[in-house]
Amino acid sequence: MAQIIFDHVTKKYKDEIALSDVSFQIEKGEFVFVIGKSGAGKSTLLNLILKQEEVTSGQIVVEGRRLDTMERKKIPAHRRRLGIMSNDVGLLKDRSVYDNIKLAILATGNADDKMREKIIKVLGLVGLAGKFNAFPDELSGGEQARVLLSRALSVRPQILIADEPTANLDPDAAWDLMQLFEELNYRGMTILIASHARGLVTIMKRRCITLVAGRLAADDKHSIYNQKAMDIFAERRILQEEVKNSEKRLFLP
């Protein structure tokens, strides 16, 4: 059975239709982008998987568990199986990197006497083992994003869900982060990323689920940012510009 199943999912907020009859399946170990313009429904789709929102109609199944009939007391355990990287839940500025991750582990009830080793280890995964005493303000944007990733990994998730993880990053830092996602995926983790960073999405050549105004406009296996599904010529020009720029970046000596 697929690891994530969306079966004719519609989500309305009052009269606003955020997702409309969306169906797809994601297998374990896949690397998938959810792309689309601002307001297309990307965050809604992710929040439904986290069960932070409820579907209006249709059905979502994650790792064999139906979300609509999931008991309230099982929701924390459900979320613990997912690594969540979102700028909505940023780092606490008055806590060290170490404490930020420690608090996340405590919140999931996974604390034990190996906590310190675990934290150093997850920081090591993102190349920041030496920064555990730093405060968020002492880190670059890219490093802060890597701490967010490290915090998401601290629950040892099967599935990593990231909402616009490169939103605040310069191109180099964004690229580094994508490399980390690739590495995690190589080790077997399912990766689901909402993004509208077209240049990046294009070079990654991964599956892309394209949302346009809440509808699933395309689902491409090894996609570029789907041009057919997006509408106007201006976008195409921007896309080509970005691809050119990212190629330049990639092949610089």
Q: Which two tokens stand for residue 197?
A: 């960073």
- Pick one of 43, 144, 150, 226: the residue that binds Mg ion (CB under 5 A): 43
Q: Is the CB of 101 or the CB of 162 nearer to ligand ADP? A: 162
Q: Which stretch binds Mg ion (CB under 5 A): 39-47, 169-177, 199-207, 227-235?
A: 39-47
CB-nearer residue toward Mg ion: 43 or 226: 43
16 binds, among Mg ion, ligand ADP, none (CB under 5 to 8 A by kind): ligand ADP
C-alpha closest to that of 145 among 89, 220, 204: 89
Q: Which is nearer to Mg ion, 86 or 144 (CB)?
A: 86
90 binds, among ligand ADP, Mg ion, none (CB under 5 to 8 A by kind): none
State the Cα–Cα distance between residues 13 and 56, nearest whole angstrom. 9
DSSP class of residue 224 equals: P
Nearest to 217, CA basis, from 40, 31, 5: 40
Binding partner of 94, given ligand ADP, Mg ion, none, CB within 5-8 angstroms per partner class: none
Minimum separation from the CB atom of position 18 to Mg ion (A)? 10
State which residue, 36 or 83, has the beta carbon closest to ligand ADP: 36
Q: Which residues contact 77 (CB under 8 A, 6 or more apart)?
A: none
Nearest to ligand ADP of 41, 136 (CB atom): 41
> What distance in Å separates the CA atoms of residue 1 and residue 27, rounded to the nearest whole number?
8
CA trace torsion 245, 247, 194, 135 (10° rounding): -80
Distances (CA, A) of 25 to 13, 218, 219, 225: 24, 13, 10, 19
The token duo for 183 is 């590495």
What minimum distance in Å lies between the beta carbon of 125 and Mg ion?
26
Min separation Cβ 89 and ligand ADP, Å? 15
Contacts with ligand ADP by CB under 6 A lie at 13, 16, 18, 36, 38-44
Residue with tokens 């002492």: 138
Determine the interface stretch with Mg ion among 38-46, 127-135, 145-153, 176-184 (rule: CB under 5 A).
38-46
- Binding residues for Mg ion, per CB under 5 A? 42-43
